[in-house]
Amino acid sequence: MTDEFDDFLAQALAPPERDADRAFVARVQSQIRLDEHLRAERRRMLSMLAIQVLGIAAIAAAVFWLLRSPEIAEFAADSPAILLTMLLAAFSFAVLLFSTGPSPGRSRASFSIA
Amino acid sequence: MAAQNDEDLALSRRAAAGDSAAFAALVKRYERPLRAFLVRMGAVEIADDIAQDAFLKAWRAAGQYDGSARYSTWLTSIAWRCRLDELRRRPQPAPQADLRENPNAAEVSDMLARLSENERASLVLCDGHGWTHQEAAELLGLPLGTLKSTVARAKAKCREMWSGTGDD
């Protein structure tokens, strides 16, 4: 009885004899492609963010440096509204410049899951 | 066996270098035993989700496989951790029979459902998948002696149920 039971158990618990499940393999490959795409996109976004942070820091440093000069300080004291308008215009220009960088939608559009 | 290990190591190294065709060969080779094991441990739908997750993690970590263990052992250990994570998120369904693949499945699934998690896993791996006790002990994080007694206890329980002398 022991032998019969052992045979039964080993046979019942063994992985089934069949060919590879092509649909499953395709699903895994598709998931891997999607994962690779998302990782590449994440890397690209991070590098863009780093560039933008550096750009903003450079602009802020330049503005700070300009405001320290006596002529600008005098001008600011005389007409703060004009200076504020100029700063806002410069900031708007910077935002416009960064927002028209390489679009993430372009690479997304070229990606498709097979 | 060593030749198979070498071949798997070569495929895994190619996968680590970004060769998805090499990894597809590994998926083709090991999806059957991995999914069979996971089906024995839980519901069919969850088993496939966990298997996919495990293969994705194996792809990401392909460079970490060093060939010191069988690829199937390494892969199953990843799947086992994925399964534990999944069980923390979702309540555990009872093991189900997959009658398409094995006519004895219903009877065996009924037996397995009455075993503890470790008893079930160790019995399936050692008696069904041909794992050594050492490999199963490492996967389950049990001392070798404990694993051996767990397998013996699981088998004794199944035998008792099979011979019809169980409680019910």
- Using the structure block, give the residue that is written with the tokens 């393999």: A25
Q: Residue B7 burial (CB < 10 Å; 0-12/13-18/19+)?
A: middle
The string of DSSP letters for A31-80 reads HHHHHHHHHHHHHHHHHHHHHHHHHHHHHHHHHHHHHHSHHHHHHHHH-H
Q: Please give the structure tokens belonging to residue B8.
A: 């798997």
Average pLDDT by stretches of 10, chain A with 114 residues = 80 88 94 93 94 86 83 82 85 77 50 45
pLDDT of residue A2: 57
Kindly report the number of other CB atoms within 10 A of residue B163's CB atom.
10
Residues in chain A: 114
- Using the structure block, give the residue that is written with the tokens 């007694």: B149
pLDDT of residue B1: 61
- Within 13 A of A40's CA, how many CA atoms are on the CB side? 10
CA distance B125 to B96: 17
Binary contact (B108, A13; C-beta < 8 A): yes
Residue ranges, comma separated, of all CATH 1.10.10.10 domains in chain B are 103-168
Q: How far apart are the first and last CA of chain A?
A: 52
pLDDT of residue B72: 94
pLDDT of residue B92: 64
Binary contact (A25, B48; C-beta < 8 A): no
One-letter identity of residue B49: D
Q: Residue B23 burial (CB < 10 Å; 0-12/13-18/19+)?
A: buried
Radius of gyration of chain B (CA): 17
Q: Closest to A25 (Cβ–Cβ): which among B31, B37, B128?
A: B31
pLDDT of residue B24: 95
pTM above 0.80, yes or no: no
Residue ranges, comma separated, of all CATH 1.10.1740.10 domains in chain B are 1-93
Residue A21's SS3 state is coil
Q: Closest to A24 (Cβ–Cβ): which among B31, B37, B129?
A: B31
For B54-64, write each residue's pLDDT tens digit: 999 999 999 99
Residues in chain B: 168
We find that the CATH architecture of domain B103-168 is Orthogonal Bundle (1.10)
pLDDT of residue A110: 46
Please give the sequence-ordered ranges of beta strands (E in DSSP) within chain A, or none if there are none. none
C-alpha distance from B68 to closest chain A C-alpha (Å): 24
Q: Please give the structure tokens belonging to residue B58.
A: 């194996």
For B98-120, write each residue's pLDDT tens digit: 544 554 556 788 888 889 989 99
CA distance A58 to A63: 9
Q: Residue B61 burial (CB < 10 Å; 0-12/13-18/19+)?
A: middle
User: Which region holds residue B92: left if phi is over 0, alpha if psi is between -120 and 50, else beta?
Assistant: beta
Contact A13, B127 (CB under 8 A): yes
CATH 1.25.40.10 fits B1-93, yes or no: no
Most B-contacting residue of A6, A7, A9, A34 (CB-CB within 10 A), to test interface = A9
ipTM value for the complex: 0.81
- Report chain A residues whose CB lies below 8 A from the CB of B36: 14-16
* Residue stretches of chain B with pLDDT short of 50: 97, 99-100, 103, 165-168
Q: How many domains does chain A have?
A: 1
In chain B, pLDDT over 70 holds for what percent of residues?
86
In chain B, pLDDT over 90 holds for what percent of residues?
63
pLDDT of residue B99: 45
Q: Residue A109 burial (CB < 10 Å; 0-12/13-18/19+)?
A: exposed
Q: By residue range, what is the domain housing residue A72?
A: 2-110
Q: Please give the structure tokens belonging to residue A64.
A: 């700070």
